[in-house]
């Protein structure tokens, strides 16, 4: 069975602080993909990153960075120097087992950036 756990339901920080969103996943497959999506208040789902199970290199994109550790089954997301526009719900998701049935999502972390 596949499972994604985002233990942080809500995080509130002051603008310019760094913040890390945690994601822990479970799968028995050796080949899988991990994703992060952003859902701003407008409601659409915005793709942020895809990482496959064979690539454990950390990735940085501007103020965003991702730390993938297979040893702990984690795929954490860090926002550096947060901004009010980063306020959103962030979802971690897993694609595995051939994936015909799509993504398994965590429950999401609501990130609030206070000015």
Partner 1 sequence: NAGVTQTPKFRILKIGQSMTLQCAQDMNHNYMYWYRQDPGMGLKLIYYSVGAGITDKGEVPNGYNVSRSTTEDFPLRLELAAPSQTSVYFCASSPGEKLFFGSGTQLSVL
CB of 35 to partner 1, least distance (A): 8
For partner 1, the closer CB: 10 or 18: 10
For partner 1, the closer CB: 80 or 107: 107
For partner 1, the closer CB: 101 or 115: 101
Residues that bind partner 1 (CB under 8 A): 4, 6, 9, 33, 35, 43-45, 47, 50, 91, 93, 95, 99-103, 105-108
For partner 1, the closer CB: 85 or 100: 100
- CB-based contacts of 10, cutoff 8 Å, min separation 6: 109, 110, 111, 112
Give the pairing of strands 10-14 and 109-114: parallel
CB of 23 to partner 1, least distance (A): 11
Q: What angle do CA 80, 86, 87 make, to 5 degrees?
A: 130
CB of 3 to partner 1, least distance (A): 11
CB of 99 to partner 1, least distance (A): 6
Q: How many CA atoms lie within 13 A of 26 on its CB side?
A: 7
The answer to whether 17 and 105 are in contact (CB under 8 A) is no
What would the two tokens of residue 90 be?
């962030």
């Amino acid at each position: 069975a596949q499972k994604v756990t985002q233990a942080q339901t809500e995080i509130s920080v002051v603008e310019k602080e760094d913040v890390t969103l945690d994601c822990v996943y479970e799968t028995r497959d050796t080949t899988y993909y991990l994703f992060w999506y952003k859902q701003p208040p407008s409601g659409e789902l915005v793709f942020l990153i895809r990482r496959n199970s064979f690539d454990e290199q950390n990735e940085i994109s501007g103020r965003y960075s991702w730390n993938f550790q297979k040893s702990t089954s984690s795929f954490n997301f860090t926002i550096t120097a947060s901004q009010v526009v980063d306020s959103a719900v962030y979802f971690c998701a897993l694609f595995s087992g051939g994936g015909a049935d799509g993504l398994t999502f965590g429950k999401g972390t609501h990130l609030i950036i206070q000015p």
